[in-house]
């Protein structure tokens, strides 16, 4: 890959978060009634299966945008420190989130009776995971980093069972394992497949490092925590509030980190292409985060986050179309496995909704 553009995305990514319709989030008809609901939602009832299917669709769409963002972040990492990329994305997300809240008539800081510590925790977990993910994809081969990061669904399924009491069924476990296997086949991580002569390296020439791998595992865990916190808060809070808090906390944390540990590239030195790439990262991340948060509010955390594995499939397709990267047999097998697993999860939800 070479530093060329900054597609619109989250081409992330992304891992990131959305002109997503506010109507997509099913909130209580009465606002006062919403405030009386317990913070810890019960697992969705079988009759809500159609809502879960819609949530899975939103999550799959967010995967498309996040995968586009990941490519752009990798490219921009050749010119900018990773925390500056995080900061730009976060500022854009926070501003657009706050404006959207005002437009939708939603308080950006959340409903008055909701313990906002949960929103701060959700934003902090998401911001931490985002920073670790950006560090990973900038400092190690993209396939390796995405493979490790996408162990997140396994963490999510376990945490959702422990914290939320959501069911962890046999099909969920099987689908999780199948997705993780598919991710490994598609990305062919060097840690599993070695370093063949034709292994592709990014334009920035990063190599596998233990610190980047550790960051990927940490990012996967924090993303799982963030997803479960979204489910814990449930429909009492608009998805746009989640997006705003995520942007706010990420802006604060990345800004502090950039000031203390890295040297930012002055705005006056940015080229037009760099402006386009950085703005695209932020815009695509915002749209993707909106779809992701709305999807998580409508579907169980475990199955919903499985859809994020589609990032790998989309990255594989984009590589072929835009960079002329001919897929290997293992890539085709992995993509097929992921698609089969995610389709089976959606199909099972649809079947249960008809019961």
Instruction: Give the model's pLDDT for residue 323.
Output: 58
Q: What is the pLDDT of residues 320-335, one digit of tens each?
A: 776 565 667 877 787 7
% of the chain beyond a pLDDT of 70: 69
Instruction: Give the model's pLDDT for residue 250.
Output: 95
CA distances from 311 to 129, 189, 336 (A): 16, 16, 13
- Pairwise CA distance, residues 291 & 67, whole Å: 14
- Three-state DSSP class for 12? coil
Instruction: Give the model's pLDDT for residue 355.
Output: 58
Q: What is the pLDDT of residues 138-179, one digit of tens each?
A: 887 776 777 778 777 667 777 888 888 887 777 778 877 887
Instruction: Give the model's pLDDT for residue 36.
Output: 34
Instruction: Give the model's pLDDT for residue 251.
Output: 96
| Tokens found for residue 140 | 């190690």
Burial of 342 (0-12, 13-18, 19+ CB in 10 A): buried
- Buried b / exposed e along 131-162 (16+ C-beta atoms within 10 A): bbbbbbbbbbbbbbbbbbbbbbbbbbbebbbe
Task: Name which of 138, 147, 182 is nearest 337 in CA terms.
Answer: 182
Model's pTM, two decimal places?
A: 0.69
CB-side neighbour CA atoms (13 Å) of 242: 33
- Pairwise CA distance, residues 197 & 181, whole Å: 23
């Amino acid at each position: 890959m070479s530093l060329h553009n900054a597609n619109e995305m989250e081409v992330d990514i992304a891992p990131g978060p959305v002109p997503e319709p506010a109507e997509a989030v099913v909130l209580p008809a009465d606002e006062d009634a919403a405030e009386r609901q317990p913070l810890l939602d019960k697992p969705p009832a079988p009759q809500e299966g159609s809502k879960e299917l819609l949530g899975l669709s939103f999550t799959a769409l967010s995967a498309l945008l996040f995968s586009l963002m990941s490519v752009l972040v990798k490219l921009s990492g050749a010119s900018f420190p990773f925390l500056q990329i995080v900061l730009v994305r976060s500022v854009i997300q926070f501003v657009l989130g706050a404006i959207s809240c005002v437009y939708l008539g939603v308080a950006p800081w959340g409903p008055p009776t909701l313990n906002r510590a949960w929103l701060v925790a959700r934003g902090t977990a998401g911001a931490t995971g985002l920073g670790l993910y950006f560090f990973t994809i900038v400092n190690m081969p993209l396939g390796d980093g995405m493979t490790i990061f996408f162990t997140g669904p396994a963490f999510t399924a376990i945490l959702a069972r422990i914290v939320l009491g959501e069911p962890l069924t046999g099909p969920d476990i099987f689908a999780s394992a199948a997705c993780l296997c598919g991710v490994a086949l598609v990305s062919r991580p060097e840690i599993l497949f070695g370093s063949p002569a034709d292994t592709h390296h990014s334009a920035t020439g990063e190599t596998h490092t233990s610190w980047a791998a550790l960051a990927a595992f940490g990012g996967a865990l924090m993303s799982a925590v963030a997803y479960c916190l979204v489910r814990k808060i449930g429909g009492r809070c608009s998805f746009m509030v989640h997006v705003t808090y995520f942007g706010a906390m990420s802006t604060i944390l990345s800004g502090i980190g950039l000031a203390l540990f890295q040297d930012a590239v002055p705005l006056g030195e940015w080229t037009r292409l760099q402006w386009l790439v950085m703005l695209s990262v932020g815009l695509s991340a915002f749209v993707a985060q909106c779809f992701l948060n709305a999807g998580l509010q409508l579907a169980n955390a475990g199955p919903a986050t499985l859809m994020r594995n589609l990032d790998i499939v989309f990255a594989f397709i984009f590589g072929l179309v835009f960079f002329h990267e001919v897929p290997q047999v293992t890539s085709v097998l992995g993509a097929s496995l992921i698609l089969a697993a995610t389709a089976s999860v959606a199909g099972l939800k649809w079947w249960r909704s008809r019961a």
